[in-house]
Amino acid sequence: MTDDHGISRPTQSHILKLDNVTRVFGSGNQSVTAVDNVSLQIKHGQFVALVGRSGSGKTTLMNIMSGLDNPTSGHVEFDGKFLTDMSDGELVKLRRNKQGFIFQSFGLISLLSAYENVQLPLHISGTSWRERRRKAATALEMVGLAGRANHRPYELSGGEQQRVAIARALVSEPNILFADEPTGELDSVNALYISQILKDISKTNQVTIIAATHDPTLADMSDQIYRMQDGAIQN
């Protein structure tokens, strides 16, 4: 669907819907319920924080939301389609074209420049050189690193490295970003800066962001906070 300006708009208000999702690891007396009967909806362009202690189920829930893991029971609907109905090939295509991932450890390749790290997903997917160059430059500009494109990770601060990782996650123009402790390795100044970048991306580009975090600064920037304890969402 397009609006009066010819811009594509979502046909439904939510990008993610979870119905009674439970994830159990192990069996019998050795079983552990990592996610316990979670139901929620996340809107297009919403910035959501999953908060809770280590072991509360944040990362497991986020993995289920993204299709990296399957629930033991319940359903996950992504952009109108059930993830469990998708083939492995469809899930790969989904992650390549509609999802971006940001990790606590940055995950940059030390021998590559910031620009080369950012354009790598496009190179793997077979995008043309001209298009890779344009999209990588745009993504680096979005995170304020246009002037550092030729620097390698060891020449960048921790905050700058995380901004490169965010640019890499954005370069494929995803509908949604999954961020696992994106400020966990940063000092308070850089954590605030990264939190603001994520909020701006959500609002300006209508990208849905789901962040698992211990950081109250990041959580306060979000539109919605879900607090987790023992695998369940606390009301």
Question: What are the tens digits of pLDDT across the range 142-193?
Answer: 999 999 999 999 999 999 999 999 999 999 999 999 999 999 888 999 999 9
- Paired tokens of 18: 């979870």
DSSP string, 57-110: SHHHHHHHHHTSS--SEEEEEETTEEGGGS-HHHHHHHHHHTEEEEETT----T
What is the predicted pLDDT for the residue at 179? 94
105 or 144: which carries more pLDDT confidence? 144
Query: Over the stretch 75-100, which tens digit does the pLDDT of each residue have?
Result: 999 988 999 899 999 998 898 889 99
The hierarchical CATH code for the domain 45-67+88-234 is: 3.40.50.300
Q: Give ∠ CA 8-12-17 in degrees, rounded to 5.
A: 130
CB 92 within 8 A of CB 124: no
What is the predicted pLDDT for the residue at 116? 96
| Phi, then psi, of 195 in degrees rounded to 5 | -60, -40
Average pLDDT of span 187-205? 92
The three-state secondary structure class of 231 is coil
CB 155 within 8 A of CB 186: no
pLDDT at 6 over 60: no
Residues in a beta bridge with 25: 32
Average pLDDT of span 11-38? 90
What is the predicted pLDDT for the residue at 12? 65
What is the predicted pLDDT for the residue at 1? 44
pLDDT at 7 over 50: no
Mean pLDDT of the residues in the chain: 90
- Taking Cα atoms as reference points, which of 154, 230, 204 lies closest to residue 47? 204
Domain boundaries of the chain, sorted by first residue: 45-67+88-234
pTM above 0.85, yes or no: yes
pLDDT at 211 over 90: yes
Average pLDDT of span 62-83? 94
